[in-house]
Amino acid sequence: MLVRSKEESGISYQLLRVAWLLFDYDRKICFYGTNTRLFEAEIHLVVAIRENPGLHVAGLAQKFGVTKGAISQLVQKLGKKGMITRQRDPENKTKLLLGLTEKGQVAYEHHARLHLEFEERVNRLLKDEPEENVLFLKNFLRTMAQEIEALEE
């Protein structure tokens, strides 16, 4: 019988274990049904392009709270990876209209399916829990995320 240390049975250890398992899982799924690795910022830009048709680089930059240059770099990378199309806006020749290629659409759909499956898994695990426990967990995770974000500042 394996004896666990106090540390391994603690909440912080379990949180770190879940974080590492999710990190490892994310590394395995980062191709999103294609043969091309996509990083988090790239797949989220694919999602934004698909869910906001007609949004230009400036609008995407505003949506993500980053510079137009940062979005332009991602657009170039996604273009090279065969995920998006770029064409001049006929109404404003200085702007690009962005769309998804077939490969980009596959990545979008795979990403959406992964989110749905994850949400279903979480809901299944919490379905029999009293609402107060679910609210506590939600608040705890929100606060924990804020604490971790504060470490980065």
The predicted-structure confidence for 136-150, as pLDDT tens digits, reads as follows: 999 999 999 999 999
> Is 7 contained in some domain?
no
Mean pLDDT across the chain:
92
- Over residues 103-119, the mean pLDDT reads 97
> Is 96 contained in some domain?
yes
- Over residues 66-91, the mean pLDDT reads 95
Phi, psi at 133, each rounded to 5°: -70, -40
* Per-residue pLDDT, 6: 58
> Is 87 contained in some domain?
yes
- 109 lies in which domain range? 30-128
State the Cα torsion 77-72-102-36 to the nearest 10°.
20
> Is 50 contained in some domain?
yes
> Is 56 contained in some domain?
yes
Residue identified by tokens 């869910």 is 51
We report the CATH number of the domain holding residue 100 as: 1.10.10.10
Q: Which of the four pLDDT bands, split at 50, 70 and 90, describes residue 1? A: very low
Asked if residue 18 has pLDDT above 90, the reply is yes
Q: Return d(Cα 126, Cα 92) in angstroms, integer.
A: 50
> Is 49 contained in some domain?
yes
> Is 122 contained in some domain?
yes
- Over residues 87-96, the mean pLDDT reads 88
Instruction: Say how many domains are in the chain.
Output: 1
> Is 152 contained in some domain?
no
* Per-residue pLDDT, 153: 77
Q: pTM for this structure? A: 0.81
* Per-residue pLDDT, 54: 87
